[in-house]
Amino acid sequence: MRGGGLLVAGTTSDAGKSVVTAGICRWLVRQGVKVAPFKGQNMSLNSFVTREGAEIGRAQAMQAQAARVEPTALMNPVLLKPGSDRSSQVVLMGKPVGELSARGYHGGRQRELFEPVLACLEELRGTYDAVICEGAGSPAEINLRRTDIVNMGIARAAKLPVVVVGDIDRGGVFAQFFGTTALLSPEDQSLVAGYLVNKFRGDVTLLEPGLDMLHGLTGRRTFGVLPYAHGLGIDEEDGLRVSLRGTVRESVVAPPVGEDVLRVAVCAVPLMSNFTDVDALAAEPGVVVRFVDRPEELVDADLVVVPGTRGTVKALAWLRERGLADALARRAAEGRPVLGVCGGFQALGERIEDEVESKAGVVDGLGLLPVRVRFAPEKTLARPVGEALGERVEGYEIHHGVAEVLGGEAFLDGCRVGSVWGTHWHGSLESDGFRRAFLREVAVAAGRRFVPAPDTSFGALREEQLDRLGDLIEEHADTDALLRLIEEGAPEGLPFVPPGAP
């Protein structure tokens, strides 16, 4: 089956394209199919560094893990990292190539990227038995169809069959399926093979009459109804999608090992990036992680995390405006734990010199760590390995800021002063031994009788989550029909649903 393929599109953003793509990848690899994920263009602040030093969307790295292959830049050739509502950094084949406004990108640059995107897909199809592609947003964004390189544009060019995913938990899924199809041109519609319902709660027999009517209206079948699954905790793609204030990261259902729980508050800074760093904390029994934006919400926290951000200077201003900067300073003076990661680490330092990201020049940091940061035009992309707290640590780096550490105790590539830690390393808390050692230190400093579980494996938990996605596809989708689509393409003679694209 060399070169088979499928595009997983969605009626909306966050319909479930990423997890469905991962689930299909995991199901296929369990059938002995050599499979790879692909997303031509991704917009996300959650990214990952491959072993060759390329930056790609974290969702594609997760999908590669689901497929049991090493992630590469081929799997996400274009990554857009928003810096504001109107502009993004463009990352091509894992390296930043400039900053563009939305108008500039959709006005011409996007089409220039079509050939390299298509070339990446064709290279993957020449290497793997199947490539499962993920779309972006909705394929029915008719204002963007002319320059589309990720939805029907890539499907048409590569002759990929398309399955459209809809989130029924939001309501209106039948109208979404019908409207998405009816707004596509006849040529695009000929590739839309059918639909996949996501996040269904209840008795599926009550849904079946609607699915039959949808088939009668569109001539297209529904390939499965996936039930709502709690606690998947799979990497999210877009940190800008919703306000995260008060959001609690789901943890494993297990009681704390010690007498106390440990409360972690994550400052929901603007342009927050790689907030998935705290998922490893949330995986620990007895650790409660939530996102906050008020100083009073730090009072009962045992650990405060200042996470990564695409706008360190903007995040600093936000921390000061909200009163969080003063609350962090009080915590440091009282010896209460604070951890800064990447942009958060930079914000905890003494001074930032930024002529690259914000172009704000010299800006005072919070002064909690003896660190000075200068933003360089070149982005640091690395997969470092080191040791801290007597344990081996692996991480990844994605930053323009170059830190000069002027004192304190060495901590990974950053430093520690009292109960304040800072590092550029994302993903360090996924190293189990280090995470346990770090949480023990936090518990002592916070005066909590918390004990990390001795056997929590973040990697094993992630594998279990990916297997659950594979199970959802295997148990609730028509896998025989999906496999035929992947091998043979969209069926001939799919009817046109008027009115079609103008």
Residues with a catalytic annotation lie at 342, 426
What phi, psi does 184 have (nearest 5°)?
-95, 155
**What is the separation, in whole angstroms, between the first and last Cα of the chain?**
37
Q: 78: closest CA among 64, 97, 62, 103? A: 97
Three-state secondary structure call for residue 224: strand
**How far apart are alpha carbons 284 and 291 in whole angstroms?**
17
Q: Where are the alpha helices (DSSP H) in 159-278?
A: 173-182, 186-189, 208-218
Per-position DSSP letters for 102-168, written without gaps between them: HHHIIIIIHHHTHHHHHHHHHHHHHHSSEEEEE--S-TT-TTSGGG-SSSHHHHHHHT--EEEEEEG
- Across the beta sheet with 287-292, what order do the strands follow? 248-249, 287-292, 262-267, 303-306, 338-341, 420-423, 414-417, 409-411
**How far apart are alpha carbons 396 and 71 in whole angstroms?**
14
**How far apart are alpha carbons 378 and 400 in whole angstroms?**
6
Listed in sequence order, the residues at least 6 apart from 23 whose beta carbon sits closer than 8 Å to its beta carbon are: 66, 469, 470, 472, 473
Q: Which amino acid is at 22?
A: A
Angle at the Cα of 297 from the Cα atoms of 294 and 303, rounded to 5 degrees: 120
Rg (CA), the chain: 23
Strand stretches in 242-350, DSSP E: 248-249, 262-267, 272-273, 287-292, 303-306, 308-309, 338-341
**How far apart are alpha carbons 265 and 368 in whole angstroms?**
18
Omega before 71 within 30 of 0, i.e. cis: no
Helix (H) or strand (E) holding 354: strand 351-354
What CA–CA distances, in Å, run from 462 to 32, 217, 427, 458?
21, 40, 13, 6
- Across the beta sheet with 397-405, what order do the strands follow? 361-364, 351-354, 371-382, 397-405
Listed in sequence order, the residues at least 6 apart from 380 whose beta carbon sits closer than 8 Å to its beta carbon are: 397, 398, 399, 400, 402, 424
